[in-house]
């Protein structure tokens, strides 16, 4: 009966979300799948977590702005995930009234009295759900074999660490930070599994760390529609959203020793630059120079334009630019930001001369993308 109830709930919720889809992004298209994920979260924690489904539908209906809508999806799903995680932790906050959710067999019980599944399965189900949300949506870009392998390794981590909130957080974090392209990057979850197994073998206690784990999970699920950026450009979402002014496109690619003299448009206060084929450079490596003012452009001021793409990230050593103004591209684990950085220009400059650093290897270049104009 319980299982039937959850299956019916999942089917109804998925169909409702299917009817509600209004927008064209892959995250919107995946709303039915997200509804099923929410149902799993509810099944392993509190049935009221299902409330996330109508809230997702409301967000889909009511918010036309893409960024805000997807962020609200993240808030709703993140809240559900945190509630489920705290439940996995045994619930630091339970009532003693008759309608509460005490597991019928203690914290390792099979069923909770409120119709949910007990913590026996909860940690595993929660891990699968979160990894699915963070890595598999949109489904179109998913590579089945490495993903299934990665999932198995992460479940192994959860089991070894004792199915606690901390175990879930470690497993989800590991999954998030494993690009799986190339497949050799799967050494990361294997290493984590090996280390935690060793640690447990040598007496590491079964850590719960419910609240720190909850905050971690909340952060990664909050931005799940752009989980690729959370994984590969970690501080990006901790920074303020770049206030991007109107741009005057320039479009120069300057190889070593190549110089361009560019007239600065009226009201331009900054220049937008990035690198091409410089993903292997470390922070501080010189890309070029801007005159007047003797402004050095280094890795850190800008980055390789495509270094945050999932396929390119493994070989990249660039950090996120200090003042990142790249556009968010793609969705889910495939989301990335281009490596453009903003550099302020000296006051009252009429013409600038930009030179590619002599040490740039062949094929690499400093790209002058645009001037940023301040509002008139």
Partner 1 sequence: MIVATVAALLALPLVVLRRRTLAAYLAVDAATWLFAWLLWRRFPSFDPYLGGVALAVLKVTTFSLFLARGRDVRWSANHAAAVAAIVYAVVIPTTLRTAVIDGDEPFYLLVTESLVHDGDLDLANQYRTLDQSETGRKDLVPQLGDPTGPNGEQYSRHEPFLPLLLVPGYALAGLHGAIATVALFGVLLIRSTVRWMEDEGISEEASRAVFPFFAFAPPVLFYATRIWPEVPAAFFFVEALRGARAHRLKRWLPALFGLVLLKLRFVLVAIGVVATMLAGRRASRRTIALAIAVVAAPLFVMWLVSGSPTSVHTWREILPGEPRRYAIGFFGLLADGMSGIAFRAPFYLLGLFALTQWKATPRGFRAGMLASLLYILYLLPRMEWFGGWAPPLRYLVFLMPVLALGAASVWDRISRGAIALISAWTVGLVIHGIAYPWRLFHISNGENPIGEWLSHAYRADFSRLFPSFIRENSAAWIGAAVVVLIVLAGVRRWKLDLAIPLASLALAAGFSYARQPASHVEFEDAHVVREGGELYPQVYQVMRVAYRGGYVLETGESLSFLAGAGTWRLEAITGLGATFELAGHAYTIAPDERYQAVRVTIPESGRVTLRCLSGAVNLDRMARNE
Site residues for partner 1 per CB under 8 A = 1, 4-5, 8-9, 12-13, 15-20, 35, 47-48, 50-51, 53-55, 57-58, 61-62, 64, 67-68, 71, 75, 78, 92-100, 114-115, 211, 214-215, 218-219, 222, 237-241, 243
What is the closest distance, in whole angstroms, from the C-beta atom of residue 160 to partner 1 in the complex?
27
Identity of the residue, 78 or 300, whose beta carbon is nearer to partner 1 in the bound complex: 78
| CA pair distance 153, 322, nearest whole angstrom | 35
| Residue 94 vs 283, nearer CB to partner 1 | 94
What minimum distance in Å lies between the beta carbon of 194 and partner 1? 32
Q: From start to end of the chain, where are the E strands?
A: 104-107, 246-254, 259-263, 268-276, 286-291, 295-298, 328-329, 336-337, 341-344, 351-356, 365-373
Task: Identify the sign of the CA torsion 82, 87, 92, 94.
Answer: positive
Closest CA to 173 of 212, 216, 210: 216
* Minimum CB–partner distance for residue 66 and partner 1 (Å): 12
317 vs 329 by CB, closer to partner 1? 329
User: Toward partner 1, which CB reaches closer, 42 or 370?
Assistant: 42
**Shortest Cβ 318–partner 1 spacing (Å):** 22
**Of the two residues 10 and 137, which places its CB atom closer to partner 1 in the complex?**
10
CB of 54 to partner 1, least distance (A): 5
Task: Concatenate the DSSP letters of all residues of 274-313 into one string.
Answer: EEES-TTPPTT-EEEEEETTTEEEEBTTB-BTTTTSHHHH
Helix (H, G, I), strand (E, B) or coil at 180: coil
Q: Give the bridge partners for 262, in sequence order.
A: 352
């Amino acid at each position: 009966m319980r299982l039937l109830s959850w299956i019916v709930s999942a089917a109804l919720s998925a169909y409702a979300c299917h009817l509600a889809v209004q927008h064209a992004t892959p995250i919107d298209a995946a709303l039915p799948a997200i509804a099923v994920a929410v149902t799993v979260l509810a099944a392993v924690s509190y049935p009221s977590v299902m409330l996330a489904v109508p809230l997702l539908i409301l967000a889909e209906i009511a918010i036309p702005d893409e960024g805000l809508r997807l962020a609200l999806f993240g808030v709703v799903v993140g809240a559900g995930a945190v509630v489920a995680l705290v439940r996995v932790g045994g619930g630091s906050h339970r009532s003693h009234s008759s309608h509460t959710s005490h597991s019928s067999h203690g914290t390792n019980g099979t069923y909770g009295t409120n119709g949910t599944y007990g913590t026996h399965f909860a940690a595993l189900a929660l891990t699968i759900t979160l990894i699915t949300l963070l890595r598999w949506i949109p489904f179109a870009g998913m590579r089945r074999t490495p993903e299934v392998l990665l999932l198995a390794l992460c479940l192994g981590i959860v089991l070894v660490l004792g199915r606690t909130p901390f175990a879930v957080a470690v497993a989800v974090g590991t999954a998030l930070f494993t690009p799986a392209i190339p497949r050799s990057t799967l050494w990361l979850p294997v290493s984590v599994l090996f280390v935690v197994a060793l640690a447990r073998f040598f007496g590491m206690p079964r850590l719960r760390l419910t609240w720190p784990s909850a905050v971690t999970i909340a952060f990664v699920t909050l931005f799940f529609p752009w989980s690729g950026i959370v994984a590969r450009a970690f501080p990006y979402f901790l920074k303020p959203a770049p206030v991007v002014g109107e741009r005057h496109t320039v479009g120069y690619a300057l190889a070593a020793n190549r110089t361009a003299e560019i007239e600065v448009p009226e009201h331009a206060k900054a220049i937008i630059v990035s690198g091409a084929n410089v993903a292997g450079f470390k922070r501080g490596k010189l890309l070029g120079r801007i005159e007047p003012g003797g402004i050095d452009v280094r890795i850190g001021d800008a980055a390789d334009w495509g270094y945050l793409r999932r396929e390119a990230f493994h070989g990249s050593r660039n950090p996120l630019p200090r003042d990142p103004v790249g556009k968010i591209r793609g969705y889910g684990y495939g989301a990335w930001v281009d490596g453009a950085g903003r550099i302020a220009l000296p006051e009252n400059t009429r013409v600038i001369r930009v030179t590619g650093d002599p040490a740039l290897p062949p094929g690499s270049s400093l790209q002058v993308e645009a001037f940023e104009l301040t509002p008139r």
